[in-house]
Structures are given as C-alpha cells and as structure tokens.
Structure 1
Amino acid sequence: MNVIPPPSIDLQGFSLRPMEMLDIPDWYDYLRLPEVAQHLRWVLQSAADLAPLVQAYRSDEPGAPLRLAIVDDDLGCLAGSIGFDAVWPADRCAEIDFDLAPAYWGRGLGLAACKAVTAWAFTGCRLYRVQAVTRDGNRRAEQLLRGCGFQYEGLLRAYRQVRGEPGDFKMFSRLLTDPDAPD
C-alpha cells in the first residue's frame, strides 16, 4: 500500500514521506529508549531488525502495511513515524500506529500527523474504518486518539504478546461517517 505522494501535515516545519532505509538509525535510536520501548510490542536487538519492516512498508501490494516518516524539515531528521501496520482492503479497514521521538512529545505533532493520515485514509484510500490499539496504560496514545476523533470501543484482554507476555490493549476506532470525518 505504498503511497506517493503522502498526505501533508498541518504543522509548519514538518512533513510526511515514505520511510527509507536511511531512517533506520534515527528510528532505532529513539525506539530503544525506555520511555518509548515500554509501549512497543517489538523486540529490537539492533537497528538491523527494522530493515525488513521498512522494506515491507515500501510494497505496492494492496494489503501491505504502510509507514510514513514524520520529518522535522528544519533539522532534516526523523521525528517519528505513523502508518498502517495492518490493512484489510476487502473490509475497507486499516490499523493505524505511530511513534515519536521523546524530544517531540507534547508539541501537537502526533495529533497533527494522526489527523492527516486518518483523513487521507478516508479520502485517498477510500477506507471506511481506521482502528487503533494502545497498550493498556499508554495514556498519551489514548489522549492523542481521542483528540483525533477516535472512539473507545473496549478492552482486549491478553490481545497481543508484549516481549513474550500477553498484554491487554484498548481498541479505538474512527469511521468515515463519524462527525467531522472528511467526505
């Protein structure tokens, strides 16, 4: 589900573009930080673990995952990533996921990126539903999703493995027909 051009973000000094292999060192540098890693399902041993993911994100297949780099245009570096880790074309549904380097937390960047990608999902990809799961206790992600118009649907007990242990996750969704969703 590779997209060119990606949606634009409504925050001056930042842009979205497809992930590139050159993003891997910056991405790994912040994903391995304890304050970020605690919310990840992935077990990362090295930056090389991210290469297969970036390759998959570059696929043109209809159901392939998609991840975009959130770029700090002023510094020319990766500030975060956002995209769809799962896409179900037949159901017109995708699961959005995102991460930010801690230096960018609390600045509205995640919210702006989520709004841009969610709107693009409805208008550019013709999806009907965008869903997200957050690890139970990840209040920042929950707040971001609610600010983007996602509705809480419920707790999924032992839904996914987190570093070898079952973890509880909260499900959120946004539908094309929800108020303020783009036509």
Structure 2
Amino acid sequence: MSAILRLFRIDHGPRIDAERVYLRLPRLADHKPWAQLRAASRGYLTPWEPSWPADDLTRTAFRQRLAAYARELETGEAFPFFVFRKDDDAIVGGVRLFNIRRGVSQTGVMGYWSGEAHAGKGYTTEAVKAVIDFAFGPLGLHRLEAACMPHNVRSADLLSRCGFSEEGYARAYLKINGEWRDHRLFGLIAPT
C-alpha cells in the first residue's frame, strides 16, 4: 500500500510513546483539532516559523500537506509526527524529522512546535527525546541536527536538555516569518 493511502488509514504507524505523550503520523481526521490548535497559537508561532500561506489551515491545504508527507515517507526522507497528550488524546504540537540523508552521513534534521496552551509543560521535550530514540534506534541514524534563532532561548534550552550541543552560527540561515534569520546550530551524535 502506498504511503499516501496509509496516511488516510486509521491504523498506520509508527507510534512512539513517551511518558505523557505519544507521537504518530498525521491523519486526515486530525485536520480539525490541528487547525484549531494552530489558529489559537498563530501569534505565538508566527515569529518562529516560515510565513503561513493564506489557506494554510484549510482542509484542502491539510490534504496537500498529507500528500507531501506521504511522498517524503515513501522515499524515507522525513517522518512527520503529531504529538498527543495521553490523558485525553489532545494534539499538543508536532515534531518532524526531515532531510534524512543516508550513505556516509546517516543524518537527519529535527524541527518541532508546540501549541501555545501547551508550551512550557514539558510535552515537547518528551516528544523530542522520543524522536531522538526513534532516529538512533529503528532508523539507525548517526547524527541529528537542529537550529533555532538566537533570541529563542526556550528552544535552545530544550535542545540542550535533550542532549544537543551548540556547534555554530549560520547567518541568514532560514526564511522565518518573511525574513532571512540567523540561527544557532545544534548537533547530537548517536551514543556508541
């Protein structure tokens, strides 16, 4: 079965469990709670993310997002996870492992977001740690990379708590909220 079809099924995987949260691939049925969380968190998220298209939260755009995720899953280039609180199955954020490179590098890049109402509660830290275990375990990656803007102290602290080390500084690294922004660069090597 193709990855596109799997994204629309109820029982697709992988599922990753942490103490208070679990992560799984997005499904079409996630659109409404995802869109509500993103809409409620728009002001909180936009300073840290690429500009949102005008139709970003629509069902049509969500279907397109799922199709793009499916293509990345088919090629093994990315694993997009939504993060859910175990207590009530509420979506609290997302973690995406992407730009997975095999061969001599065995590397991936990690990005994450949290809904504003769930920020500062440790859910994202748990989720990132769980994806690290997934990346270094079943995926067999050797290295993970992540980046955050210099003034995003909370994100830098999260990366440090999860074992990442700061490795450098990239000028005009990513276009965030419509402007090229400098970023602090972090890396994590699989334990030996």
How would you bin the TM-score normalised by the shorter chain?
0.7 to 0.9
Aligned to 2:100: 87
Query: Which of 106, 111, 120 is 1:97 aligned to?
Result: 111
Unpaired segments ≥5 residues, structure 2: 4-11
Deviation at 1:93, TM superposition (A): 0.6
What does residue 9 of structure 2 align with?
Answer: none
Taking structure 2 as the reference length, what is the TM-score of the superposition?
A: 0.81
Residue of 82, 85, 91 corresponding to 1:78: 91
Q: Distance in 2 between matches of 1:135 and 1:31?
A: 20
Residue by residue over 1:8-40, the C-alpha shift from the partner in whole angstroms, topping out at 9 and shown as x without a partner, is: 21x23x211111122233333333421112111
Going by fraction, where is helix more abundant, 1 or 2?
Answer: 2
What 5-or-longer segments of structure 1 have no aligned partner?
none
Residue 18, structure 1, aligned to residue 30, structure 2: no
Q: 1:1-183 counterparts in 2 under 5 A?
A: 4-9=13-18, 11-12=19-20, 14-32=21-39, 33-46=42-55, 47-48=57-58, 49-59=61-71, 60-90=73-103, 91-176=105-190, 181=191
**Percent identity for Structure 1 against Structure 2:** 22
Which structure has the greater CA radius of gyration? 2
Residue 103 of structure 1 deviates from its aligned partner by 1.6
For normalisation by structure 1, the TM-score amounts to 0.85
Across the aligned residues of Structure 1 and Structure 2, the Cα RMSD in angstroms comes to: 2.0
Q: Distance in 1 between matches of 2:62 and 2:149?
A: 21
Q: Which amino acid aligns with 1:55?
A: A
Task: Supply the distance in 1 between the matched residues of 2:65 and 2:176 (Cα, whole angstroms).
Answer: 18
Amino acid corresponding to residue 78 of structure 1 in structure 2: I
Change (3 A) 1:22 1:37: farther
The count of corresponding residues between Structure 1 and Structure 2 is 175
Structure 1 residues 121 and 15: CA distance shift in structure 2, 3 A:
same
Does the CA-based 8 Å contact 1:133-1:171 persist in structure 2? yes
